[in-house]
Structure 1
Amino acid sequence: MMITTSEVKVRYAETDQMGVVYHANYFVWFEIGRTEFIEDLGFRYHEMEERGVLSPLVDADIQFKKPLRYGQTATVKTWLKEYDGLKVTYGYEILTPEGETAVTGSTKHVCVKKESFKPISIRKAFPDWHEAYLKAKGDE
């Protein structure tokens, strides 16, 4: 199974009145990890968009374990949790500088035609991505 690791320096603007990372920012960090994961596979999301395809979020899950604070560096681990040729679920673990789990979660996406939002098969529309996903998941 392929795991991509990204680092994010916690900025002051990402913290709340308690001095910890505001919960919504973790979803932005998930996107950073997901984008880097896709790039590590050799693809660019904007290339999919240029072909008239979008990949909206259809479900998200997050669990908070330990706080992260301004000035710390968070490590975002991203992997392919589930893939069936149509839906893609990415898994995430965000670590503190000490290597402890701060957050875990997942996001589920489906590819759709931009003009109609009708779902499409990744397997059929993007066979190279399909093969890369199977390989990254360890199903090849």
Structure 2
Amino acid sequence: MKSRSEITVRYAETDQMGVVYHGNYFTWFEIGRTTLLKEIGYSYKELEKSNIMLPVIDVSCKYIDAAKYDDVITIESTVEEIKGVRITFSYNLYRKDDNKLLAKGTTTHAFVTTDFKPINFKKYYSECYEKLVEYCQ
């Protein structure tokens, strides 16, 4: 299953040539991830209230083509892997007008408490875990 969200590239996200600054793609990955979590009924806010945090421990992005000012970008997000105390989300970013793949990437997170101690998410939050598994590729 895939989660889809859309953003429109803002002028502030671009350089003088109207091309999106590379660091903004990671913000878009976060939009995709938070949308996916909301779709399964769990927001970051709710997880944090339950003493769960998901710090990023690894990130990658492959840039394929430039996103530009005012492009509408579709963010497709899935769960690539969920294993032990780690979860990896994958993202594909497409320009909506021509469905051109612009970038793809991943973020890996650890399930930890607010004290940054690893937690067995499957054991303590099995309902959320099962919903995340549905988004596995």
Q: TM-score scaled by structure 1?
A: 0.92
Is 1:133 the counterpart of 2:132? The answer is yes
Which whole-Å CA distance do the structure 1 matches of 2:111 and 2:127 have between them? 15
Post-superposition CA distance 1:10-43 (Å, at most 9, x none)? 0000001232010110001000000111111121
Q: Which amino acid aligns with 2:126?
A: P
Contact 1:8 1:73 in 2 (8 A): yes
Q: Across the two proteins, how many residue pairs are aligned to each other? A: 136
Residue number in structure 2 paired with 1:107: 107
Contact 2:79 2:133 in 1 (8 A): no
| Runs of 4 or more above 6 Å deviation | none
Q: Tell me, what secondary structure is at the counterpart of 1:35?
A: helix
Q: TM-score scaled by structure 2?
A: 0.94
Contact 2:60 2:107 in 1 (8 A): yes
Residue number in structure 2 paired with 1:82: 81
Which whole-Å CA distance do the structure 2 matches of 1:49 and 1:65 have between them? 34
Which whole-Å CA distance do the structure 2 matches of 1:61 and 1:136 have between them? 20
Q: Which amino acid aligns with 1:114?
A: T
Q: Tell me, what secondary structure is at the counterpart of 2:135?
A: helix
Post-superposition CA distance 1:43-100 (Å, at most 9, x none)? 1111110122211000001000010111110111100111114211001000013101
Q: Which amino acid aligns with 1:74?
A: I
Which whole-Å CA distance do the structure 2 matches of 1:34 and 1:79 have between them? 8
Structure 2 unaligned spans of 5+: none
Q: Which amino acid aligns with 1:101?
A: L
Q: Tell me, what secondary structure is at the counterpart of 1:38?
A: helix
Residue number in structure 2 paired with 1:119: 118
Which whole-Å CA distance do the structure 2 matches of 1:136 and 1:75 have between them? 17
Instruction: Give the deviation of 1:111 after TM superposition.
Output: 1.2
Instruction: Give the deviation of 1:134 after TM superposition.
Output: 2.0
Structure 1 unaligned spans of 5+: none
Which whole-Å CA distance do the structure 1 matches of 2:136 and 2:80 have between them? 7
Contact 1:78 1:91 in 2 (8 A): yes
Which whole-Å CA distance do the structure 2 matches of 1:128 and 1:30 have between them? 24
Contact 1:85 1:130 in 2 (8 A): no
- What fraction of aligned residue pairs are identical, expressed as a percent? 36
Residue number in structure 2 paired with 1:58: 57
Which whole-Å CA distance do the structure 2 matches of 1:72 and 1:121 have between them? 40
